[in-house]
Chain A
Amino acid sequence: MSSRNIILASIRRSLGVSGKEAPRRKAVVDRLKQHPSGVVPARGQLAPKERIKLFCTMVEAANGTVEEIPRANDVPAAVAAFLRSHNLPMSVRRGDDSRLTAFPWDRERTLEVTTGPSDGGQLASVSHAFGAVAESGTLMLTSGADNPTTLNFLPDTHIVVVDAKDVAGDYETVWQRLRDKYGEGTMPRTVNMITGPSRSADIGQTLILGAHGPRRLHVMVVGDQ
């Protein structure tokens, strides 16, 4: 008997079931299909404007920084201003995401913009989030042809653009958007939920920002609600 079947048989023996009981099977099929929501905190259940305000507060509580940019075309200038204000080299790498490509990068003459994944040699990156969750200040990024995962982790500074309309109150709303986009039961290779910059408290119980991932996380909430 294969290890798989040994384990399944052992589980069934312990539970006193055969695995063929119709009510059990139905309970599982129904739950997977209906994916009922449990307790959803009231905290994030707000009107759009307040929801964005809560999101910004929570990003900052997690040691990130955040700015609201009403007009999408101002993003390249904001990226350049952010790098300048932190005395960082005027260079970013980004994915080919169409929402990023649409920004007028050429207006920033001093800003070098390259595209593709990171090999560890880039100091700053720009990503576009799939969505965000106000309840905890969490960004949701999906991997794909135009959204390299390495950009989220290797550069020292990570700038993430999110559409104001994609800032949800809770995780459940984003799960449903994932199901709508990728299909029930199907996911992209990676969904990164990011709440603040990387940190560690493993040495002498002292919390320090910038462990293996970015030392800085800057969020740009773009557009009016």
Chain B
Amino acid sequence: MNRVTSPRFKRNASEAIADPALQKAMSAGLGFVERRQAAADRLPEFDALRDSARDIKNHTLAHLDLYLEAYEERVTAQGGHVHFAVTAEEARNTVLDICRKVSAKTVTKGKTMIAEEIALNDFLEEKGVTPVETDLGEYIIQIRREMPSHIIAPAIHLNKEQVEADFRRVHTHLPPDRNLDEPATLLAEARAVLRERFLAADVGITGANFLIAETGTSIIVTNEGNGDLTQTLPKVHIVLATIEKLVPTLDDVAQLLRVLARSATGQDMSVYTTLSTGPRRKDDPDGPGEYHVVILDNGRSAMLEGEFRDMLRCIRCGACMNHCPVFNAVGGHAYGWVYPGPMGAVLTPSLVGVDQAGHLPNASTFCGRCEEVCPVRIPLPRMMRSWREREFERHLSPATMRSGLAFWAFFAKRPSLYRLATNVAMRALSLAGMFFNGRFSHLPLAGGWTRHRDFPAPQGGTFQSEWKRRKGHAS
């Protein structure tokens, strides 16, 4: 598991805020928040469907061993192959073996976060197999050698001018004076370039939004149609999935589909929802001759035990990050690995370790919007708090923070002393404020605050004294 820069989250975040191109791209926005709300408002049953989606996922996770066995039986019965992989390395090697058996030179790829998680592209390239990303956003970040910055909009951190510069740099076979002013012409160019790649590929790799135990089916959900060309044209279709993608039946998947696109992009349905089962049948005129599903664990089965099990309900819609004030300020790359935003802040420490990713659960204002909009009602703030507690217990938090907390705890455990100390402190600050026009531009121990804005001087009372006064007033 390479390329983890989560330990330097703070530096990443500062750089992101100072990056004008990133800030420009992030401020353009897709209107994710408004679109989701409008879609939810159009469907009176939306909240009931969220409850249903949560319950289906909980039921599946509680019976995951049995649903995996049932799923495997259905895939095999219809001519497909299921490969289990405990680790990222095992998954990479399984994919490579399948590619080598058909002497694959190039593979096309639909968008799959699992492939990012196991760093598949670098590995295949090293072994002489050329991977070609076909989702437009993934293609752009592949030619920039970057990681996705959003789980459903991988190139959301880029603006049109940056994409134009990259296309001119990479598509050198095209006339240098061509006009690429409009997003539509950029899209047309990518479509033409990738069309050739689709037709030439030996193997197509896609992810899976869901695996259905009832029928042994894998599902991808896309808007571009790239995933479908990826899995229809080559000789071999490989599906990369993880154990928690299982859903019992077609009826269950309908519940999840009804909340997925609405939560993600505010569409009632994405353009293409494709159900794939086994290889092409005997008389089929097209489709892949082989169908392989690689099911990765990579630490997830251990998450089933204990407080992070709820995270395995995630259906990767991206609503939590779209609604997150921290994500919208710093973008996805600052999180330093594959999964950004609130879901990443919970999942990343589980998958790469809290020692590496301990900063992420701290990158939250605890406003609670992520949980409010989650289609499967994952208690993200609670789980971020759990990670903070674990980080503290394992002595991974910085010394200044620990001594600060110890200092605060000393007073917090002694209420009369606490009241006395805060009273004295507030009066002193209020008095000092009179000499600084009621605002401090520097304060000892609060440099992190005053570096960016003034600290308003307290008015004299403490929170507790004000609370007491107003409550008395009200009654």
Contacts and interface: CB of A to CB of B under 8 A. Distances in A.
Interface in B3-58: 25, 28-30, 43-45, 48-49, 52, 56
Contact of B28 (A7, A186, A195, A204): A204
Nearest to B64: A11
A171 to B, nearest CB: 4
Nearest to A10: B301
Contacts of A17: 65
A151 B249 CA distance: 28
A202 B268 contact: no
Given A58-B268, A199-B224, A204 B285 contact: no
Contacts, number: 279
B225 A205 contact: no
B317 interface: no
B268 A28 contact: no
B25 to A, nearest CB: 8
A143 B302 contact: no
Contact of B233 (A12, A35, A116, A150): A150
Given A197-B271, A203-B136, A28 B43 contact: no
A194 B268 contact: no
B239 to A, nearest CB: 13
Interface residues of B, number: 103
B140 interface: yes
Contact of B65 (A15, A38, A150, A212): A15
B106 interface: no
Interface in A174-197: 175, 178, 185-197
9 contacts: A14-B304, A32-B214, A36-B251, A38-B56, A185-B215, A187-B278, A195-B268, A202-B135, A205-B25
Interface of B: 25, 28-30, 43-45, 48-49, 52, 56, 59, 62-70, 72, 74, 77-78, 83-86, 90, 134-137, 140, 153-156, 158-160, 163, 183-184, 186-187, 191, 194-195, 198-199, 213-217, 223-226, 228-229, 232-233, 243, 248-252, 254-255, 257-258, 267-281, 283-287, 295, 297, 301-306
Interface of A: 2-4, 6-8, 10-17, 19, 24-25, 27-28, 31-32, 35-39, 41-43, 58, 61-62, 95, 116-117, 119-120, 135-138, 143-145, 148-150, 152-154, 170-172, 175, 178, 185-206, 208, 210-214
